[in-house]
Structure 1
Amino acid sequence: MVFQQPRLSADPRLRLTGLIAEPLRATGRRAEVPDRVAELAATLGLTPDLLTRRPHEVSDGQLQRACLARALVLRPRRLICDETTAMLDASTSAALVAAVEDHRRTTGASLLAVGHDRTLLQRWCDRTVHWDGTGKDVSAR
Protein backbone atom coordinates (compact mmCIF):
# COMPACT_ATOMS: atom_id res chain seq x y z
CA MET A 1 0.00 0.00 0.00
CA VAL A 2 1.21 3.47 -0.86
CA PHE A 3 -0.57 6.22 1.05
CA GLN A 4 -1.27 9.80 0.03
CA GLN A 5 0.66 11.31 2.93
CA PRO A 6 4.05 9.64 3.26
CA ARG A 7 4.89 11.44 6.52
CA LEU A 8 2.00 9.71 8.25
CA SER A 9 3.04 6.26 7.02
CA ALA A 10 6.79 6.48 7.65
CA ASP A 11 8.44 5.71 10.98
CA PRO A 12 10.32 8.95 11.77
CA ARG A 13 13.03 7.01 13.62
CA LEU A 14 14.12 5.04 10.55
CA ARG A 15 16.54 6.19 7.90
CA LEU A 16 15.20 5.76 4.36
CA THR A 17 17.24 2.57 3.94
CA GLY A 18 15.54 1.10 7.01
CA LEU A 19 12.14 2.31 5.85
CA ILE A 20 12.52 0.56 2.49
CA ALA A 21 14.02 -2.58 4.05
CA GLU A 22 11.40 -2.89 6.79
CA PRO A 23 9.19 -5.46 4.97
CA LEU A 24 12.23 -7.61 4.11
CA ARG A 25 13.36 -7.64 7.73
CA ALA A 26 9.83 -8.36 8.95
CA THR A 27 9.62 -11.42 6.69
CA GLY A 28 13.06 -12.77 7.60
CA ARG A 29 14.68 -11.87 4.29
CA ARG A 30 17.50 -9.73 5.70
CA ALA A 31 20.04 -11.12 3.24
CA GLU A 32 18.16 -9.42 0.39
CA VAL A 33 18.27 -5.96 1.97
CA PRO A 34 21.43 -4.46 0.41
CA ASP A 35 20.74 -5.57 -3.16
CA ARG A 36 17.00 -4.93 -3.18
CA VAL A 37 17.25 -1.52 -1.50
CA ALA A 38 19.99 -0.43 -3.91
CA GLU A 39 17.97 -1.66 -6.91
CA LEU A 40 14.80 0.18 -5.89
CA ALA A 41 16.68 3.31 -4.83
CA ALA A 42 18.29 3.53 -8.27
CA THR A 43 14.96 2.91 -10.00
CA LEU A 44 13.24 5.64 -7.99
CA GLY A 45 16.04 8.19 -8.05
CA LEU A 46 17.03 7.94 -4.40
CA THR A 47 20.73 8.68 -4.13
CA PRO A 48 22.95 7.01 -1.50
CA ASP A 49 23.11 10.22 0.57
CA LEU A 50 19.30 10.37 0.72
CA LEU A 51 19.13 6.78 1.98
CA THR A 52 21.03 7.80 5.13
CA ARG A 53 18.50 10.49 6.04
CA ARG A 54 15.40 10.27 8.19
CA PRO A 55 11.93 11.25 6.91
CA HIS A 56 12.06 14.77 8.36
CA GLU A 57 15.32 15.39 6.48
CA VAL A 58 13.91 14.81 2.98
CA SER A 59 11.21 16.37 0.82
CA ASP A 60 7.71 14.94 0.49
CA GLY A 61 8.56 13.72 -3.00
CA GLN A 62 11.71 11.96 -1.84
CA LEU A 63 9.84 10.38 1.05
CA GLN A 64 7.02 9.24 -1.25
CA ARG A 65 9.65 7.61 -3.50
CA ALA A 66 10.97 5.73 -0.45
CA CYS A 67 7.44 4.71 0.54
CA LEU A 68 6.82 3.35 -2.96
CA ALA A 69 10.12 1.46 -2.76
CA ARG A 70 8.96 0.00 0.58
CA ALA A 71 5.71 -1.12 -1.06
CA LEU A 72 7.59 -2.73 -3.97
CA VAL A 73 10.44 -4.32 -2.03
CA LEU A 74 8.67 -7.69 -1.65
CA ARG A 75 7.58 -7.71 -5.32
CA PRO A 76 3.86 -7.72 -4.44
CA ARG A 77 1.25 -9.25 -6.71
CA ARG A 78 -1.24 -6.59 -5.63
CA LEU A 79 -0.53 -2.91 -5.16
CA ILE A 80 -2.86 -0.33 -3.65
CA CYS A 81 -2.14 3.33 -4.35
CA ASP A 82 -4.21 5.93 -2.49
CA GLU A 83 -3.65 9.32 -4.12
CA THR A 84 0.02 8.38 -4.48
CA THR A 85 0.90 11.38 -6.65
CA ALA A 86 -1.24 13.98 -4.88
CA MET A 87 0.75 17.01 -3.72
CA LEU A 88 3.84 16.02 -5.75
CA ASP A 89 5.52 17.92 -8.56
CA ALA A 90 5.26 16.67 -12.13
CA SER A 91 8.70 15.05 -12.33
CA THR A 92 8.27 13.14 -9.06
CA SER A 93 4.78 12.05 -10.12
CA ALA A 94 6.16 10.85 -13.46
CA ALA A 95 8.90 8.84 -11.73
CA LEU A 96 6.40 7.17 -9.40
CA VAL A 97 4.01 6.37 -12.24
CA ALA A 98 6.85 4.89 -14.30
CA ALA A 99 8.00 2.73 -11.37
CA VAL A 100 4.49 1.38 -10.80
CA GLU A 101 4.02 0.70 -14.51
CA ASP A 102 7.39 -1.06 -14.69
CA HIS A 103 6.53 -3.20 -11.67
CA ARG A 104 3.19 -4.16 -13.20
CA ARG A 105 4.78 -4.97 -16.56
CA THR A 106 7.54 -7.14 -15.11
CA THR A 107 5.49 -8.95 -12.45
CA GLY A 108 1.94 -8.95 -13.78
CA ALA A 109 0.80 -7.34 -10.52
CA SER A 110 -2.66 -5.89 -10.20
CA LEU A 111 -3.27 -2.30 -9.12
CA LEU A 112 -6.09 -0.69 -7.19
CA ALA A 113 -5.64 3.07 -7.51
CA VAL A 114 -7.71 5.68 -5.74
CA GLY A 115 -7.47 9.24 -6.97
CA HIS A 116 -8.89 12.38 -8.51
CA ASP A 117 -6.58 12.52 -11.51
CA ARG A 118 -8.72 10.86 -14.18
CA THR A 119 -5.97 10.99 -16.78
CA LEU A 120 -3.60 9.09 -14.51
CA LEU A 121 -6.25 6.59 -13.50
CA GLN A 122 -7.18 5.88 -17.10
CA ARG A 123 -3.50 5.40 -17.94
CA TRP A 124 -2.88 3.08 -15.00
CA CYS A 125 -6.08 1.10 -14.86
CA ASP A 126 -7.96 -1.28 -17.14
CA ARG A 127 -11.21 -0.19 -15.51
CA THR A 128 -12.11 3.05 -13.78
CA VAL A 129 -15.16 3.88 -11.72
CA HIS A 130 -16.29 7.42 -10.98
CA TRP A 131 -18.41 8.08 -7.90
CA ASP A 132 -20.45 11.26 -7.63
CA GLY A 133 -20.79 11.23 -3.85
CA THR A 134 -24.24 9.64 -3.81
CA GLY A 135 -22.85 6.13 -3.80
CA LYS A 136 -23.82 5.52 -7.41
CA ASP A 137 -21.37 4.58 -10.12
CA VAL A 138 -21.94 7.36 -12.66
CA SER A 139 -19.40 6.29 -15.23
CA ALA A 140 -17.25 3.26 -15.75
CA ARG A 141 -14.91 2.14 -18.46
Structure 2
Amino acid sequence: MLSGTGLVAGYRSGVPVLSEVDIQIARGEVVGLAGPSGCGKSTLARVLTLLMAPWAGQVSVDGEPVRGFRHAAPRAQRTAIGVVFQQPRLSVDPRFTLHQIVAEPLRANRKHPVDERVAELTDQVGLTAELLRRRPHEVSDGQLQRACLARALALEPRYLVCDEMTAMLDASTTAALVGVVADHSNSTGTGVLAISHDEPLLSVWADRVVRWQPTGEEQ
Protein backbone atom coordinates (compact mmCIF):
# COMPACT_ATOMS: atom_id res chain seq x y z
CA MET A 1 0.00 0.00 0.00
CA LEU A 2 1.12 3.55 -0.78
CA SER A 3 -0.04 5.72 2.08
CA GLY A 4 0.19 9.20 3.50
CA THR A 5 -0.72 9.85 7.11
CA GLY A 6 -1.20 13.25 8.69
CA LEU A 7 0.42 14.99 5.74
CA VAL A 8 1.08 18.72 6.07
CA ALA A 9 2.83 20.42 3.16
CA GLY A 10 3.15 23.80 1.50
CA TYR A 11 5.52 26.27 -0.09
CA ARG A 12 7.51 29.33 0.90
CA SER A 13 4.52 31.38 2.08
CA GLY A 14 4.38 29.25 5.19
CA VAL A 15 0.68 28.55 4.67
CA PRO A 16 0.00 24.81 4.37
CA VAL A 17 -1.63 23.56 1.18
CA LEU A 18 -2.18 20.13 2.75
CA SER A 19 -3.31 19.94 6.35
CA GLU A 20 -3.49 16.59 8.17
CA VAL A 21 -4.24 14.61 5.00
CA ASP A 22 -4.62 10.84 5.12
CA ILE A 23 -4.78 8.73 1.96
CA GLN A 24 -4.17 5.10 1.03
CA ILE A 25 -3.80 3.40 -2.35
CA ALA A 26 -3.79 -0.39 -2.29
CA ARG A 27 -2.12 -2.60 -4.88
CA GLY A 28 -4.47 -3.17 -7.81
CA GLU A 29 -6.80 -0.36 -6.73
CA VAL A 30 -7.61 2.80 -8.70
CA VAL A 31 -8.35 5.68 -6.34
CA GLY A 32 -9.78 8.83 -7.86
CA LEU A 33 -9.01 12.20 -6.30
CA ALA A 34 -11.40 14.96 -7.41
CA GLY A 35 -11.52 18.62 -6.56
CA PRO A 36 -11.22 22.12 -8.03
CA SER A 37 -7.97 23.82 -8.95
CA GLY A 38 -6.06 25.08 -5.94
CA CYS A 39 -7.24 22.52 -3.43
CA GLY A 40 -3.85 20.79 -3.13
CA LYS A 41 -4.21 17.78 -5.43
CA SER A 42 -0.93 18.34 -7.25
CA THR A 43 0.91 19.08 -4.00
CA LEU A 44 -0.28 15.73 -2.69
CA ALA A 45 0.93 14.08 -5.91
CA ARG A 46 4.40 15.57 -5.45
CA VAL A 47 4.58 14.37 -1.85
CA LEU A 48 3.38 10.84 -2.65
CA THR A 49 5.84 10.51 -5.56
CA LEU A 50 8.68 11.58 -3.22
CA LEU A 51 9.37 14.76 -5.21
CA MET A 52 8.51 17.02 -2.26
CA ALA A 53 9.06 16.50 1.44
CA PRO A 54 6.05 17.17 3.67
CA TRP A 55 6.38 19.53 6.63
CA ALA A 56 4.81 16.87 8.81
CA GLY A 57 3.29 13.42 8.50
CA GLN A 58 4.51 10.17 7.04
CA VAL A 59 4.59 8.60 3.58
CA SER A 60 4.99 4.82 3.49
CA VAL A 61 5.54 2.42 0.59
CA ASP A 62 4.34 -1.12 1.30
CA GLY A 63 4.74 -0.59 5.03
CA GLU A 64 8.21 0.97 4.81
CA PRO A 65 8.34 4.61 6.00
CA VAL A 66 9.96 7.01 3.57
CA ARG A 67 12.99 8.66 5.21
CA GLY A 68 14.20 10.78 2.30
CA PHE A 69 12.71 12.71 -0.59
CA ARG A 70 13.90 13.65 -4.07
CA HIS A 71 17.49 12.46 -4.54
CA ALA A 72 17.71 11.43 -0.89
CA ALA A 73 14.97 8.84 -1.34
CA PRO A 74 16.20 5.25 -1.58
CA ARG A 75 16.21 4.00 -5.16
CA ALA A 76 13.94 1.09 -4.28
CA GLN A 77 11.26 3.49 -3.08
CA ARG A 78 11.75 6.05 -5.88
CA THR A 79 11.33 3.42 -8.56
CA ALA A 80 8.29 1.89 -6.85
CA ILE A 81 6.21 4.93 -7.81
CA GLY A 82 5.67 6.23 -11.34
CA VAL A 83 4.10 9.57 -12.19
CA VAL A 84 2.46 11.19 -15.21
CA PHE A 85 2.00 14.97 -15.05
CA GLN A 86 -0.62 17.20 -16.62
CA GLN A 87 1.67 19.06 -19.02
CA PRO A 88 3.89 16.65 -20.94
CA ARG A 89 5.96 19.40 -22.57
CA LEU A 90 7.12 20.62 -19.18
CA SER A 91 8.14 17.15 -18.02
CA VAL A 92 10.48 16.14 -20.84
CA ASP A 93 13.81 17.28 -22.23
CA PRO A 94 12.89 18.98 -25.56
CA ARG A 95 16.17 17.79 -27.07
CA PHE A 96 15.25 14.11 -26.62
CA THR A 97 13.46 11.95 -29.14
CA LEU A 98 10.43 10.06 -27.88
CA HIS A 99 12.59 6.93 -27.81
CA GLN A 100 15.07 8.68 -25.51
CA ILE A 101 12.25 9.97 -23.28
CA VAL A 102 10.89 6.46 -22.72
CA ALA A 103 14.38 4.99 -22.32
CA GLU A 104 15.57 7.62 -19.82
CA PRO A 105 14.66 5.75 -16.60
CA LEU A 106 15.91 2.47 -18.04
CA ARG A 107 19.32 3.96 -18.77
CA ALA A 108 19.47 5.82 -15.46
CA ASN A 109 18.79 2.58 -13.57
CA ARG A 110 20.88 0.42 -15.92
CA LYS A 111 17.97 -1.75 -16.97
CA HIS A 112 18.67 -3.78 -20.12
CA PRO A 113 17.90 -4.54 -22.89
CA VAL A 114 16.68 -0.96 -23.38
CA ASP A 115 15.47 -1.13 -26.97
CA GLU A 116 13.34 -4.22 -26.38
CA ARG A 117 11.69 -2.67 -23.33
CA VAL A 118 11.05 0.60 -25.17
CA ALA A 119 9.44 -1.29 -28.04
CA GLU A 120 7.22 -3.19 -25.61
CA LEU A 121 6.17 -0.03 -23.75
CA THR A 122 5.49 2.08 -26.80
CA ASP A 123 3.40 -0.67 -28.35
CA GLN A 124 1.44 -0.79 -25.09
CA VAL A 125 0.63 2.93 -25.20
CA GLY A 126 0.01 3.10 -28.95
CA LEU A 127 3.13 4.77 -30.36
CA THR A 128 4.64 3.77 -33.69
CA ALA A 129 8.32 3.28 -34.46
CA GLU A 130 8.24 6.33 -36.74
CA LEU A 131 7.00 8.56 -33.91
CA LEU A 132 9.83 7.39 -31.65
CA ARG A 133 12.31 9.17 -33.91
CA ARG A 134 10.60 12.53 -33.43
CA ARG A 135 11.21 15.19 -30.79
CA PRO A 136 8.51 16.80 -28.63
CA HIS A 137 7.93 19.78 -30.94
CA GLU A 138 7.23 17.35 -33.79
CA VAL A 139 4.36 15.47 -32.10
CA SER A 140 0.96 16.31 -30.60
CA ASP A 141 0.24 16.65 -26.89
CA GLY A 142 -1.50 13.29 -26.99
CA GLN A 143 1.43 11.53 -28.62
CA LEU A 144 3.85 13.09 -26.15
CA GLN A 145 1.67 12.11 -23.20
CA ARG A 146 1.67 8.54 -24.47
CA ALA A 147 5.47 8.64 -24.32
CA CYS A 148 5.33 10.08 -20.79
CA LEU A 149 3.02 7.26 -19.70
CA ALA A 150 5.37 4.70 -21.23
CA ARG A 151 8.26 6.32 -19.37
CA ALA A 152 6.31 6.17 -16.10
CA LEU A 153 5.73 2.43 -16.59
CA ALA A 154 9.27 1.64 -17.72
CA LEU A 155 10.57 0.41 -14.35
CA GLU A 156 7.40 -1.56 -13.56
CA PRO A 157 6.34 0.60 -10.60
CA ARG A 158 4.04 -0.84 -7.98
CA TYR A 159 2.13 2.44 -7.86
CA LEU A 160 1.28 5.04 -10.51
CA VAL A 161 0.18 8.62 -9.84
CA CYS A 162 -1.65 10.28 -12.74
CA ASP A 163 -1.83 14.01 -11.96
CA GLU A 164 -4.46 15.44 -14.35
CA MET A 165 -2.94 13.15 -16.98
CA THR A 166 -5.77 13.72 -19.46
CA ALA A 167 -6.53 17.41 -18.85
CA MET A 168 -4.92 18.58 -22.10
CA LEU A 169 -6.09 15.68 -24.28
CA ASP A 170 -9.05 15.12 -26.58
CA ALA A 171 -11.74 12.59 -25.73
CA SER A 172 -10.39 9.75 -27.86
CA THR A 173 -6.84 10.04 -26.51
CA THR A 174 -8.19 10.32 -22.97
CA ALA A 175 -10.15 7.10 -23.41
CA ALA A 176 -7.13 5.34 -24.91
CA LEU A 177 -4.72 6.31 -22.11
CA VAL A 178 -7.21 5.59 -19.34
CA GLY A 179 -7.71 2.18 -20.95
CA VAL A 180 -3.95 1.55 -20.96
CA VAL A 181 -3.67 2.43 -17.28
CA ALA A 182 -6.71 0.34 -16.34
CA ASP A 183 -5.47 -2.70 -18.27
CA HIS A 184 -2.00 -2.32 -16.77
CA SER A 185 -3.41 -2.11 -13.25
CA ASN A 186 -5.59 -5.16 -13.79
CA SER A 187 -2.76 -7.25 -15.23
CA THR A 188 0.07 -6.24 -12.87
CA GLY A 189 -1.65 -5.21 -9.64
CA THR A 190 -0.32 -1.66 -9.89
CA GLY A 191 -2.09 0.73 -7.53
CA VAL A 192 -3.21 3.95 -9.21
CA LEU A 193 -4.01 7.42 -7.88
CA ALA A 194 -5.99 9.18 -10.61
CA ILE A 195 -6.16 12.91 -9.92
CA SER A 196 -8.66 14.92 -11.95
CA HIS A 197 -11.25 17.68 -11.80
CA ASP A 198 -13.29 15.57 -14.27
CA GLU A 199 -15.63 13.67 -11.97
CA PRO A 200 -17.52 11.88 -14.78
CA LEU A 201 -14.19 10.46 -15.94
CA LEU A 202 -13.26 9.33 -12.44
CA SER A 203 -16.68 7.74 -11.96
CA VAL A 204 -15.89 5.21 -14.71
CA TRP A 205 -12.13 4.94 -14.13
CA ALA A 206 -11.75 4.68 -10.36
CA ASP A 207 -12.81 2.00 -7.89
CA ARG A 208 -13.53 4.77 -5.38
CA VAL A 209 -13.34 8.55 -5.48
CA VAL A 210 -12.14 10.94 -2.78
CA ARG A 211 -13.56 14.46 -3.18
CA TRP A 212 -11.75 17.50 -1.82
CA GLN A 213 -12.85 21.04 -1.11
CA PRO A 214 -10.43 23.98 -1.59
CA THR A 215 -9.45 23.76 2.09
CA GLY A 216 -8.14 20.24 1.46
CA GLU A 217 -10.89 18.68 3.54
CA GLU A 218 -12.32 15.44 2.23
CA GLN A 219 -16.00 14.72 1.63
TM over 0.5: yes
Q: What is the CA-CA distance between 1:134 and the residue it aligns to?
A: 2.8
Percent identity of paired positions between Structure 1 and Structure 2? 63
Pick the aligned partner of 1:76 from 150, 153, 157: 157
Check if 1:14 corresponds to 2:103.
no
Task: Give the distance between the partners of 2:120 and 2:175, measured in 1 at CA.
Answer: 18
Q: How many residues align?
A: 137
Given residue 178 of structure 2, which amino acid in structure 1 is its aligned partner? V
Pick the aligned partner of 1:61 from 122, 126, 142: 142
Task: Give the distance between the partners of 1:73 and 1:122, measured in 2 at CA.
Answer: 27
Aligned to 1:132: 213
Task: Give the distance between the partners of 1:44 and 1:32, measured in 2 at CA.
Answer: 19
Q: What is the CA-CA distance between 1:73 and the residue it aligns to?
A: 1.1
2:85 is paired with a residue whose SS is: coil
Given residue 103 of structure 2, which amino acid in structure 1 is its aligned partner? A
* Residue range with higher mean Cα deviation, 118-127 or 96-105: 118-127
1:128 is paired with a residue whose SS is: strand
1:24 is paired with a residue whose SS is: helix
Which is helix-richer, 1 or 2? 1
Given residue 218 of structure 2, which amino acid in structure 1 is its aligned partner? D
Check if 1:101 corresponds to 2:182.
yes
Aligned to 1:24: 106
Task: Give the distance between the partners of 1:12 and 1:89, measured in 2 at CA.
Answer: 22
Check if 1:52 corresponds to 2:147.
no
Pick the aligned partner of 1:114 from 171, 176, 195: 195
Task: Give the distance between the partners of 1:107 and 1:38, measured in 2 at CA.
Answer: 19
Task: Give the distance between the partners of 1:66 and 1:112, measured in 2 at CA.
Answer: 19
Instruction: In structure 1, list runs of 5 or more residues that go unmatched.
Output: none
Instruction: In structure 2, list runs of 5 or more residues that go unmatched.
Output: 1-82
- Measured against aligned partners, the alpha-carbon deviations of 1:89-113 in whole angstroms (never above 9, x if no partner) come to 1111111111101110111010112
2:84 is paired with a residue whose SS is: coil
- Measured against aligned partners, the alpha-carbon deviations of 1:100-129 in whole angstroms (never above 9, x if no partner) come to 011101110101121111122233322211
- Measured against aligned partners, the alpha-carbon deviations of 1:58-98 in whole angstroms (never above 9, x if no partner) come to 11000000000000111110000000011201111111111
Task: Give the distance between the partners of 2:206 and 2:178, measured in 1 at CA.
Answer: 12
* Residue range with higher mean Cα deviation, 120-129 or 76-85: 120-129
RCO higher in 1 or 2 (8 Å CA, sep ≥ 6)? 2
Runs of 4+ in 1 over 4 A off after TM superposition: none
Pick the aligned partner of 2:119 from 38, 46, 61: 38
2:192 is paired with a residue whose SS is: strand
Q: How high is the TM-score relative to the length of structure 2?
A: 0.60
